[in-house]
Structure formats: C-alpha cells, structure tokens
Chains A and B, each alone.
Chain A
C-alpha cells in the first residue's frame, strides 16, 4: 500500500532526531525546539537517533514470540546500515503512524506483521540513510556518493573521516525527507532474506530473566488483584459475602465488578488466597444444563436442516448419483484454550485526569479506546505501554476484551496502580476458546477414483457474528472461520455444496492460532487422504493429480524430497501421512511419521516445506514452523475443553494437556522462495499437522480417526 507524502520528520528533542511517517502537521523538523518537556519521545516515531548515538527502533507490532521485532528491525537495518547489536527495539505507543494497513488501528494478528509493515520499514530506513549521507556530505563538502554508511557510522570515502549517526542529529533536522525513498530489490538485500537470530538484546534479556513481560511490571505503590469468576458460563452474580476475606492480612479491598468479585491486596498471593474466603451466590441461568454431550446432540440436529450456503458449484446431486463410490465422514473438534505460558494480566493506573495502562493486548488501539471509555476518559488521556507478551496465540486479542476491561474496572477510581492477574485456572476455564465444531462430509468418487463431488456441513459457534468484527468475518450467514480453507480448498473438484451452521455461544469463542484453518485443514486433508486410500493411490501423487496451482504442486514435490517419501521405510506399526494447506498467504506441506504404541502413538518425525513467497528471515520461518507443529501436536493428541453443567471440566495443565518435550518430533524444515506475494508465518505451520498425523496413524494402523484429540484404543 503506497502512501503519498510518505515520510516526514517530526518534532525534535534537543539531543535526538526522530523520523516518523504520515504525520499530518509538520513537514520539517525543528532542531531548536529544545524545551525540557519534550524529553519524551514523539509518539509516532519509527527511528530515533540520539546525540550519543543511541539508536531506537519503535515497532508497533507486539512481540509475542513470533519475532516481529527482529524481523521488522531487519527491514530498517537493511537500508540504514546500523550497528545491529547496539540498536534498541522498543514497542511503540498507540499512535496512528503505526496503524495497520487494514484500518485506522494498531493490531498484531492474522500473521500479517511483515506483510503489512515491511515496505514502510524499509523505506524509513532508506529515507534516513539518504538524509544521513546528505547531512554528512554538507559538512564534509563532498557529494553524497562520496559518503558511506556502515555500522551506525558515516565514512568519507575520500578522506576516511568518520561521523557517528548521532553526530548529525541537529543537521538532520534541517533536511527534507525524501518523498519516495528507494529500497533495494529483495534479491539484493544483505540482511533481509538471511537467517538472523532474535536480536541479541531481546535474546539475552529473555534468558536472564530481565525481559519485562506484563506480569513483571512494577510501579511504585502498585497493588495486586485476583478475581473470583463464575464457573458456569453466563452465570450472574447475585450476592456475595466478603467479611471473612476482609479480615485477612494484606487485603485492601473487595470490589464488585460487573459480573465477578475482585480482591485487591498488597501482594497477589494474598489476594488469590482470600478468594477462597468469599461466599458468592451465582444465578447460573440456563447454561447450567449445557454439556459437551448436549452440544453434540444440538449440532447433529441442526445439520439435518439446510444451512447457510458457503459454496455451490456444479451439480453435486447429479455427481453423487453417478458416483462409483461415496465416502461419508463426521469430524469433531473440541473447544480449545490457548493457554499461553504467561497468565493473562493487565496493569491499570487510573488518575483524576488521565490514566496509564500496561497491556499485553494484540489490539493496542482498540484496547486503549475501550479502557478509556470504561474509565470515562478520552483515549488520548490513556498512556499505553506494551511489554513483551508471554505467548498469545490469539488469546491476547480477545474480541470481548475480557481480562483487559476487567483490570480496568478493578482499578477504576482507586488510588493505586493495580495489576489484575488471572490464575491458570481462570485462563483455562473462562472461555474465549477455539469454537467447538462438528463437520460432516460426503465425497463422491468417479470410476477413476477421482473426487467428483465434495459436499460439506460445518456447525460451530461464530467467532465474528454479533461482534465488532462482523463486517470483516461474517457474510451471508457464513462465519469466516467455518469457510476459510474449506470453501477455497485448492483441489479441482467440479461439484460442491457446502453449508455452515451457527450454534449458540455458551463459552465465548475466539481465534486460536490459525483460526478456522484448525478445522478446515484436518477436514479437507483427511478426506482427500481417505479418497486416495479408496483409489489405492499414493497420497502425494493423488493430491498432485487434483491440483492445478503450481505452488502447491512444487511444495508437495519439495516435501516429498525432504522426507525421502519415495524410499520411506515400511515398518510394522509405523505410518507416514501427508497434508498441505494454505493459510495467511503461505502454503505449508508436512509429512508426519508416526509410530503406534500400545494404546498410544508417538509422532517421531515431521518434514515441513513452506512457500511464504519470500522468507524475510528464514531462521525465523523455521522457528515458526517448529512452533506451529508442536502447537498443533498438543491439540492433535491431548488438548480439549469439555463442558459439564455449563462449566469447563478442565482447569490446569494436569487435565488440559499440552505437548511436552517428550512429544516433540524431530522436525526438518525447507523453504521455497517462490517470489510470489509475501505470506504470513506465525500461523501457517499449524493447520497441516492435524491431518498429517491422522493420515499417518491410518497408514500405520488402518484406522481412520476423525475426532480430535486423537486417542487410540
């Protein structure tokens, strides 16, 4: 997305130069605006250079493990020639300059950070690089092409004289910013496209316990809150008695929230312990009758009626009549909690005229606005800070802003900054799950064993309907998370009729790493595998035969080579399964090798090939593939939230099981730079894993599992 009038400098502090973009007010910076109160950073800055040669990159995409800080910093550094180890990468405050290309807000999600920001960041680096050269050339009285930039220094090619970038802070401010800075072709880049490790300052902070996550924020006089929530989804608070809790040591206040009770204490542990002394009467409401079993029944009966049409192509009914063979199957996908390792938290400091928050939200602008509204303040009166996120996987982008708004109500009108911190049990039991889905398919095979028709039904809660994202993800009665990856599957199938059904929301639902692709990929890729098995065809050759997209075909050939598929060792109780899936603009193919054990199985190896157009940081692409595979493995093998009496049965890692180191397969990753449109990388590694494992189990055992998590026996 090109912006006219693209980059401008902005107001300066005496000792720093700041470059920002898309600033409406000033086209030129003012070098002499040295007033003391301008000490704080101009909030829409991208790069700040200080007189002492401190160089700060401000990045509006939150860092939750996906390595956006490093990869976007690489984009600036590619053009700016900085001393890489010395730069600081800092989370930007909420400011329009850092808005996403999707709209007037900052957000981190949808595997979109590099896609959305790489071009801007490279141009910022290039503009600043030109300006530095121009400033140095003026001082040295040489042409700009006689000036080199390297390691945050300027070098006079003729005299070998040097300036540090910081030496030119005042001169920079007098220069005009190039209106359309040139950037290198990707193929000529020296940093972009190379495997760059996480920036050393971040990497060292994280291994030394110095990285500040939201939970580590410490503000003078800060207090802590723990919250008593209803366990039945939708239960209403009727009354509570906190007299006993208030007698405990360190308890400052017990506070009624819209539908919960918070204990504010000197220390969090004291607050959490006091929760047990509060007696609450809940009105459990009609959800108290809901169970996973009752939802299954409801889903099945919904499917008997016509649904909202997701896809209609050709004449399915006719194809089924002419079919040589018909495959019918039902798939089940449970609710899933994200369970990021850092329990959810938020610090809010409400003051008379303004407020400050420390939030790990993936939705910065939205969160600031909602927090301000809840506090009865204007958004620009809320100072917003983004620490590191201890995992997110979508959970820190809650559409209902649950823990963020709750923390705001806890701190509203209080004299202290307050950290509201959820327990792991809160995290597991409080909803915002991947929806529970039931999918049904009917697949017609013709006399050659090819798929002539594919009919499908998907039932589950809508992520988008009735939310502020409805316009984005809910159209004609169809939820985007039900259709994505399904109605647009890559296979050449002439006849298709697909319907979606929206079930009632009991626990709130949310995007979970790769969103709807968590159901569509295992669904489609298991069915294609079943068809290949019926046709007694090689699963890779069968897929290639049904594909016309060259990227998919090349990727299957690539993963086949990587896994040595043709020469795979046939062993008793060992099977191999393949799956390929496109999501967030990237295609990923995986082959899993599974060994069947007594009542259990072990995924021993995964070979993974990815075409994300162009890998900006191949090492990070590899890391994200490994991450996506192990994340999917948890839900393939273990994780599920089930409901009984309207509440989640599971509560912590002993019953909401996730993958551990003993589960992690050997993983080999290869990358194809097809140079097609750039795709995302944080999520696409997850979807194919489910079916690759299911297909491998079938290959090993002859048994087809279509309900997740897959438990043998």
Chain B
C-alpha cells in the first residue's frame, strides 16, 4: 500500500504493507537508523518517536495507523529534543548509548505534555525505557536540568 509520511519535517512516499511497524519503515525504508530496535514488543522504549508531539513505541505502531507528523531523534528542529541532547552530553549520560535516542525522545514527549514534571513524574514517565548500562541516575539529572532551564 502507498503511504505518505512526514518525518522530521520531510515528506516521504512509501509503498509497504500497512501492518509494517513504523520502526521498520524508519530504519529500513527511510534509512533513519537513529531510532533503535530493542525488543519489538513495546517493552524497552528504544524505538520511541513522537507522533504529533506524543511519545509512542514505533516497534508496535503499524504504519497504517500513523496519521500525524513523526519526529525522531534525528530532528534538528525540535526545541525539547535539542535541549535534552545538550544536557545529556553535559551530564555525561550515555554509556553504550544504544537506548539513549529512545530515552531522549520519551523525555521530550514528557516535557511537551508537562514542562515542569516532578521527580516522581519523571520516573513514572521514563519507566518504560530500559537502559542495561544503568545510566538511569544521570538520565534523571539531565531531565531535571532541562526542566530547570525551561
């Protein structure tokens, strides 16, 4: 089936089956590899992107259900994403780094809904994103600093 899709403010036309998850459209059809595959069942959050500003798991989102504008970690124009990236580097958060794109996108989704989340709200919102390097402590710090700057 033919789909048109807006990703990071660019328009794409693709021809794939409607049940193909957005993750694989991004990675293998559009070659946007910043969005990661981690579990395939919405358990780890590595594939998190924004659809109309809301964080979703791209690995379980069929392309046919994506009606809004998609923002990925590769965006250059999203205010929350750039701010979080800056604090991620400043706080030396990444280790292996594989999950961090999803962590940042999930945090961006949180900040768009709630620009001043409490510590508990941060933990609750970020609990679907796994980091096996265990960088959670610094993730919390980076998000809190981004909140303060806002």
A contacts, CB < 8 Å to B = 64-67, 197-198, 200, 202-213, 215-216, 218, 224, 249, 267-269, 338-343, 388-393, 421, 423-425, 619, 623, 626-631, 633-634, 652-654, 658-664, 666-667
Contacts and interface: CB of A to CB of B under 8 A. Distances in A.
B101 interface: yes
B148 interface: no
B77 interface: no
Given A204-B89, A209-B33, A269-B20, A627 B98 contact: no
B13 interface: no
16 contacts: A65-B94, A65-B133, A203-B92, A207-B100, A208-B34, A208-B85, A224-B28, A341-B132, A424-B44, A627-B133, A627-B135, A661-B129, A661-B136, A661-B140, A664-B136, A667-B137
Contacts of A633: 134
Contacts of A662: 123-124, 127
Given A208-B73, A658-B130, A661-B136, A65 B97 contact: yes
B40 interface: yes
A652 B137 contact: no
Interface string B108-149: 000000000000000110111111111111111000000000
Interface of B: 17, 20-21, 24, 28-29, 31-41, 43-44, 46, 72-74, 84-85, 88-89, 92-101, 104, 123-124, 126-140
A66 B95 contact: yes
B95 A65 contact: yes
Given A200-B89, A267-B29, A627-B133, A653 B39 contact: yes
Contacts of A342: 36, 38, 96, 98
Nearest to B126: A661
Nearest to A685: B134
Contacts of A215: 33, 36-37
A67 B33 contact: no
A654 B41 contact: yes
Contacts of B104: 207
Contacts of B138: 623, 626
Contacts of B36: 213, 215, 341-342, 390
A536 B73 CA distance: 55
A338 B36 CA distance: 18
Contacts, number: 179
B38 A198 contact: no
Given A208-B74, A661-B129, A388 B89 contact: no
A662 B130 CA distance: 11
A203 B104 CA distance: 13
A393 B96 CA distance: 11
Contacts of A67: 95
B37 A197 contact: no
Contacts of A212: 33
Contact of B37 (A339, A343, A654): A343
A661 B37 contact: no
A195 B138 CA distance: 15
Contacts of A391: 96, 98, 132-133
Given A215-B36, A424-B40, A627-B133, A207 B94 contact: yes
Contacts of B89: 197, 200, 203-204, 207
A668 to B, nearest CB: 10
Contacts of B137: 626, 630, 664, 666-667
A630 B94 contact: no
A73 to B, nearest CB: 15
Given A65-B97, A207-B100, A341-B133, 4 more contacts: A269-B24, A269-B28, A652-B40, A658-B132
B37 to A, nearest CB: 6
Contacts of B101: 207, 209
A210 B34 contact: yes
A423 B130 contact: no
A215 B98 CA distance: 10
Nearest to B87: A207
Nearest to A215: B37
A664 to B, nearest CB: 4
A659 B44 CA distance: 11
Contacts of A249: 17
A425 B39 CA distance: 8
A268 B94 CA distance: 27
Contacts of A208: 34, 73-74, 85
B101 to A, nearest CB: 5
Contacts of B135: 623, 626-627
Contacts of A204: 85, 89
Contacts of A392: 96
B29 A213 contact: no
B22 to A, nearest CB: 11
Contacts of B43: 652-654
B134 A341 contact: no
Contact of A627 (B17, B85, B134): B134
A463 to B, nearest CB: 21
Given A67-B95, A206-B100, A267-B29, A393 B132 contact: yes
A686 to B, nearest CB: 10
A390 B95 contact: no
Contact of B98 (A213, A267, A619, A663): A213
Contact of A341 (B88, B96, B127): B96
A684 to B, nearest CB: 14
Contacts of A619: 92
Nearest to B85: A207
Contacts of A388: 96-98
B132 to A, nearest CB: 5
Given A424-B38, A653-B39, A666-B137, A65 B96 contact: yes
A267 B28 contact: yes
Given A215-B37, A627-B133, A653 B97 contact: no
Contacts of A211: 97
A339 to B, nearest CB: 6
Nearest to A424: B39
Contacts of B40: 423-425, 652
B96 A652 contact: no
Given A208-B74, A341-B132, A664-B134, A627 B95 contact: yes
B108 to A, nearest CB: 12
B95 A623 contact: yes
A197 B92 contact: yes
B127 to A, nearest CB: 5
B124 to A, nearest CB: 8
Contacts of A268: 24, 28
A340 B126 contact: no
A123 B44 CA distance: 43
Contacts of B32: 209
Closest 6 CB pairs between A and B?
A: A209-B34, A630-B134, A390-B98, A65-B96, A206-B97, A65-B95
Given A208-B74, A390-B97, A343 B38 contact: yes
Contacts of A269: 20-21, 24, 28
Given A216-B33, A652-B41, A653-B44, A341 B72 contact: no
Contact of B73 (A209, A423, A424): A209
Nearest to A425: B40
A652 B39 contact: yes
